Chain A
C-alpha cells in the first residue's frame, strides 16, 4: 500500500515516462493510466521493459480497426501495475497494406489468446508465433473479419456443419474422459478432455468458444451509449452488474463525467450484494459437487434472502438494470435501509452456522484439503485473479489497489490464504462474504444525500480509458475508445479468461473424482470467456493441438 501515496506515485510515473520515452513518441498520463504509442519496430523492447523490468502483468490486448480515422490497424496492450495502482497502455500500428504485428507471446504468454482473437476478428497477422483460428467457427469464410468497420453487423454467412472430432487418446495414456460440452454442475458450454493414468489426472485439454456472441461488434454498430449497459449486463449471468459498472466507469473516465457520490455508493452496495450472492451460489455448487446436497440446499436457501434484497433495491433479482453512464437509475430509499440491515444480519448469522456445520463434515474437509493445488509461483506467472489468486497467497484486490466507486470509504480486509488448494479458495470466498457484509454496513451508514445521476452527460469523441472492477471471480477489465453516439471500440476481458490456464497446474495429479470440483474451484464463467488452451503435464502451456480434420489449425509451443 505504501506505493499508493501521491508523491511516490508521481515519481513512479516519471520513471515510466523516462524509460519509455526511448521508444515512444507520444506519452500521456490521464488519471491512473499511462498511454504510449510505440512504433512496431521497437515495440517488443518496450513490452519487455514493462513486463519484465517493471514487473507488470498483462491485463489484456485489443485490436482496433482505425482505418476510418488514420488509415492504420492498431493493437493496444494493456498492462497493470497493481502495487502502484497504474494501468499502462502500449499502442502500436502496422502498415495497412500488410497488417503484420510483432508478436509478444514469448515475452508475456498471457497475450496468446487476445492476439489470436485480434487475428480472427480483424485479420491481423502476428510475426514470430504459430497462428491458428480461435474465436470463429471452422466454417466461417476466410477474409471475412467481423470486427472491421466496413463489415456490417448483421452479416450471416451460410454455415456448413462439419462437426468436430475429439482426439482419441494420447500416447502412453488411456482414452480421454470427456467432461462437457455441458459442465455437469455449472450448466455452461465448455469441453474438457481429461487424460488419466489409473485414477490420476495427468493432462487436460480445454476447448471453448462454443458461445461467441459478437457482443463487442453489436455494441459498436447497433447500440447507443446508454443502451450498452443493458447489453454489458448480459455478458455474465452471475456477475452482470460488474460488467455494466465497468463499462459505465470506462466511459465516464474517458469523458470525465462527474458521477454523484450517492450513485457511487449505490453501485458499491449493489456490487457487494452481487458478490455475496455469487459466493453463496458457489459454496452451494461446491457442496453439490462433493455430494453434500444438504449444504447446497441450505446455501441456496440463504442466498434467496440476498436475491430478494437485490430485487427490493434494484427491481430485479438478477440483471439489475440500474446502471447508466453518469449514475444509477434507482435510489435506495430510507425505508429500505432497515430491511437491508435485517437481511444482512440474517445472512451473517445463518451463513456462519452453515459453514461451521459444513466444515465439521470430515468428508468435505478431506476432499477440499490438498486437492487442486496452485503454488504461489505458478499463480504469479499466470497472473491469475480474484479468489484463485488470493487462495494462492497473492495479495491482489482491485477494490483496495485501484479503488473505484465508493470503496475508498470502506474499511475491509482482503483475505489471503497461502495453501493454494481447494480449501483455501473456498475459505477466501467464505471470508469475503463476511467482508462484503461489513462493507455494505459501512457504506449504508455513510450513504450521502444528493442526486443519483450526473446532470450533464457529454461524451467527446476519440477518448480512451481502461476501467477495472473486482468481480466475485476476479478482475474484470473494460477498454473503451469513444466514438460518435456509441463507442468506437469496446473490449471486454472477463476474469475467467485469466484463470483457466491455471487449471493445468491445479488438475495435474488430482484424483479423477476431484477434477470437477477443481475445475469449479476457479468459479469459471465460460460464457464470459470462451477461449481455448491446452494444459501439458510437464507444466508447459500449449495451444490446443488439433488433428488435421479440423482444418490444420496447428499448434504452438510457448
Chain B
C-alpha cells in the first residue's frame, strides 16, 4: 500500500469524525428559554381571549368547539359562556365563527399553574325575559346586536319562541278571520 492508499484508508476510517465538523458548524441550537424568547413563529396558535364587551352570548363558538372547552350554561337570570383552558386544543375554530370578533387568538402558551381556577374563564350575560311567559329568551347583548341589524325585530325580540309562534298564529287568524276550533 502506497501513501495514497494509506491516506484513503485513513479518510475512510476517520469518516465518523465528520460529525465533529457538523456539530461545530451547527453550534448551540438550544435556547436559554426562560431568559430568551421562545422559538415560536408569528402564526402560532395559543390561548384564546374573549372580549366580554363584544361577546353577545350567541353560542356559535360552543357549537363548533371540538373538545367542549367552550360551554354555555343558562339559568333563569344569567347565561354564562365558560372557557376551560385545560380542555382547549387551540384550533381557533371559535375565532373563525364568532360573528362579532369577540374572540382573539394570542401567542400565549405558558399556561402551567398551581391553581386550577386560573384555567377557567367566563363571560356572564344578563338575559332578556319573555314579556308574555317570563322565560329567559336571549341575552341583552344579543338583543342589541340583532336590533342593530334589523329594526323590525323589536316586535318579537323579547318573546319566547313558543310565544312568538302563538303571536304569529294570532296575527294570521286576525288577517284571515279564521278562529281555531276549541
Contact = CB atoms under 8 A, between A and B. Distances in A.
Interface in B162-177: none
Contact of A231 (B26, B41, B65, B66): B66
A231 B91 CA distance: 11
Contacts of B110: none
25 contacts: A224-B63, A226-B64, A230-B91, A294-B23, A301-B29, A308-B41, A311-B41, A312-B41, A314-B43, A315-B45, A315-B92, A316-B44, A316-B90, A321-B45, A321-B89, A321-B92, A330-B43, A350-B22, A353-B18, A357-B16, A357-B19, A360-B12, A360-B16, A360-B18, A361-B16
B15 interface: yes
Contacts of B40: 311
B118 interface: no
Nearest to A360: B15
Contact of A313 (B16, B43, B92, B96): B43
Contact of B22 (A298, A312, A314): A298
A354 B45 contact: no
B39 interface: yes
| A: interface residue count bin | 20 to 34
Contacts of B41: 308, 311-312
Interface string B44-67: 110000000000000000011111
Given A301-B26, A321-B89, A230 B12 contact: no
Given A308-B41, A316-B44, A321-B89, A294 B19 contact: yes
Given A230-B89, A313-B43, A314-B43, A357 B18 contact: yes
Interface string A322-336: 000000011000000
Contacts of A230: 66-67, 89, 91, 93
A110 B159 CA distance: 61
B16 A298 contact: no
A315 B90 CA distance: 9
A227 B19 contact: no
Contacts of B89: 230, 319, 321
B26 A312 contact: no
Nearest to B105: A315
Interface of B: 12, 15-16, 18-19, 22-23, 26, 29, 39-41, 43-45, 63-67, 89-93, 96
Counting chain A CB atoms within 10 Å of each CB, the highest count among B40, B44, B66 belongs to: B66
Contacts of A150: none
B64 A329 contact: no
Contacts of A314: 43
A377 B52 CA distance: 65
Given A227-B64, A311-B44, A357 B96 contact: no
Nearest to A300: B29
> Closest 9 interchain pairs by CB?
A360-B15, A230-B66, A315-B45, A227-B66, A321-B91, A357-B18, A312-B41, A361-B16, A315-B43
Which among B41, B44, B63 has the greatest number of chain A C-beta atoms within 10 A? B41
Interface in A267-314: 294-295, 298, 301, 304, 308, 311-314
A356 B45 contact: no
A311 B16 contact: no
Contact of B23 (A223, A298, A311, A361): A298
Contacts of A224: 63
B173 to A, nearest CB: 35
A18 to B, nearest CB: 46
Nearest to A302: B26
A360 B23 CA distance: 16
B108 to A, nearest CB: 14
Contact of B19 (A223, A298, A330): A298
Contacts of B63: 224
Contacts of B12: 360
Contacts of A223: 66
A311 B18 contact: no
Contacts of A356: 18
Contacts of A227: 64-66
B66 A361 contact: no
A315 B44 contact: yes
Interface string A217-259: 0000001101100110000000000000000000000000000
A55 B12 CA distance: 48
A295 B15 CA distance: 14
B123 to A, nearest CB: 22
B44 A329 contact: no
B26 A298 contact: yes
B107 to A, nearest CB: 10
A146 B65 CA distance: 25
A153 B39 CA distance: 40
A372 to B, nearest CB: 23
Given A311-B43, A316-B45, 19 more contacts: A223-B66, A224-B63, A226-B64, A230-B67, A230-B93, A295-B19, A301-B29, A304-B29, A311-B41, A319-B89, A321-B89, A321-B91, A350-B22, A353-B18, A354-B22, A357-B15, A357-B22, A360-B12, A361-B15
Contacts of A301: 26, 29
Contacts of A311: 40-41, 43-44
Contacts of B93: 230
Contacts of A226: 64
A353 B15 CA distance: 11
Contacts of B15: 357, 360-361
